[in-house]
């Protein structure tokens, strides 16, 4: 049985004041029935981890470099994330693929380094609107999975997030059938690659315009084990509604 996971990606949002939302979240969910993860900007990881203390919210990074250390101005290493209190890292988000030209091979290299530093990797996949319109969605997803997931990863080390690019920050979401089709295909691809024993334990998150108002219907879809939430994770009241829907699913 996979434990559900509600993850928030704050993207490039938040300074000290934003951490008040974490206090509110802890107050509303002192004993959550699902796993909770927040991925703030790198500058807030350590402060957030301290603020969370012993409360049940994990903290994660939004990216790390493939190299262990060295001359990479502006980058953050897996070891630094771990040192700051992160236990997870999002890799291959479509915004990094688009803004920084990240390829599947680059994401895989980052994932290998992150795993070597005991981080759980949240690998993102998703098609653009043009790819969906061309009928290429499942091919795109299978190619991204094959190229970006390291060999030998275990179910405890990997979370996969399906985030259709056209649904991110747009208020648009796929139909529930479309979400089910992609999540079932991801589970099948992971089973073929890693075997059922591992694949069955990997959490698959849906991401893209998840809100308190649509969360329950999305969480009822087969092979949806939670959500990766952008905008709605910035407000404790909104994220709390999504957490409550996941707890009830
Ligand atoms: O990109 C996302 C999470 O990683 C989704 O963002 P929104 O929830 O703002 O659409």
For 144, the token pair is 């991204």
**Would the pLDDT of 244 be above 90?**
yes
Q: What separation in angstroms does the CA of 224 have from each of 159, 176, 217, 218?
A: 12, 10, 10, 7
Q: What is the pLDDT of residues 58-96, one digit of tens each?
A: 999 999 999 999 999 999 999 999 999 999 999 999 999
Residue 164's nearest CA partner among 103, 104, 208 is 208
CB within 8 Å of 24: residues ≥ 6 apart: 236, 237, 240
232 CA closest ligand 1 atom index: 8
d(CA 32, CA 233): 16
ipTM confidence score: 0.99
Bridge partners for 7 per DSSP: 37, 228
92: left (phi over 0), alpha (psi -120 to 50) or beta: left
Topology at the third CATH level for domain 5-248 = TIM Barrel (3.20.20)
Q: What is the DSSP code (8-state) at residue 2?
A: P
Looking at residue 95, its pLDDT comes to 98
Q: Is the pTM of this model over 0.95?
A: yes
Q: What is the pLDDT of residues 172-224, one digit of tens each?
A: 999 999 999 999 999 999 999 999 999 999 999 999 999 999 999 999 999 99
Looking at residue 24, its pLDDT comes to 97
Q: Is 10 annotated as a binding residue?
A: yes
d(CA 185, CA 189): 6
CB distance 207 to ligand 1 below 6 Å: yes
Q: Is 94 annotated as a binding residue?
A: no
Q: What is the pLDDT of residues 121-180, one digit of tens each?
A: 999 999 999 999 999 999 999 999 999 999 999 999 999 999 999 999 999 999 999 999
Residue 226's nearest CA partner among 34, 30, 25 is 34
Dihedrals phi, psi of 172, to nearest 5 degrees? -100, 145
**Would the pLDDT of 1 be above 90?**
no
Q: What is the pLDDT of residues 99-131, one digit of tens each?
A: 999 999 999 999 999 999 999 999 999 999 999
CB distance 210 to ligand 1 below 6 Å: yes
118: left (phi over 0), alpha (psi -120 to 50) or beta: left
Asked whether the beta carbons of 123 and 158 are under 8 A apart, the reply is yes
d(CA 157, CA 198): 10
In the chain, where the domains are located:
5-248
CB distance 242 to ligand 1 below 6 Å: no
Q: What separation in angstroms does the CA of 51 have from each of 20, 147, 173, 213?
A: 9, 36, 33, 29
Out of 228, 233, 241, give the residue to mutate to test ligand 1, the one with the largest number of ligand atoms within 8 Å of its CB: 228
For 91, the token pair is 């890799």
């Amino acid at each position: 049985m996979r434990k559900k996971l509600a993850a928030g990606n704050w993207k490039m949002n938040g300074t000290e004041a934003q951490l008040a939302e974490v206090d509110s979240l802890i107050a509303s969910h002192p004993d959550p029935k699902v796993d909770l993860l927040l991925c703030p900007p790198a500058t807030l990881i350590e402060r957030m981890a301290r603020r969370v203390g012993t409360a049940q919210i994990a903290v994660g990074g939004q990216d790390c470099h493939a190299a262990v250390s060295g001359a990479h101005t502006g980058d953050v290493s897996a070891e630094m994330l771990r040192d700051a209190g992160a236990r997870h890292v999002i890799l291959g988000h479509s915004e990094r693929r688009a803004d920084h030209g990240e390829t599947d091979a680059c994401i895989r290299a980052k994932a290998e380094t992150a795993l070597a530093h005991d981080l759980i990797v949240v690998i993102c996949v998703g098609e653009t609107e043009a790819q969906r319109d061309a009928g290429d969605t499942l091919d795109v997803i299978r190619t991204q999975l094959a190229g970006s997931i390291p060999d030998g990863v275990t179910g405890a080390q990997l979370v996969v997030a399906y985030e259709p690019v056209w649904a991110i920050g747009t208020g648009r979401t796929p139909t529930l059938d479309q979400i089910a089709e992609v999540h079932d295909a991801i589970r099948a691809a992971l089973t073929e690659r890693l075997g059922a024993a591992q694949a069955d334990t990997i959490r698959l998150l849906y991401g893209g315009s998840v809100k308190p108002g649509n969360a329950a219907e999305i969480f009822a879809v087969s092979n949806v084990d939670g959500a990766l939430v952008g905008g709605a994770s910035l407000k404790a009241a909104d994220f709390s509604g999504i957490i409550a829907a996941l707890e009830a699913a």
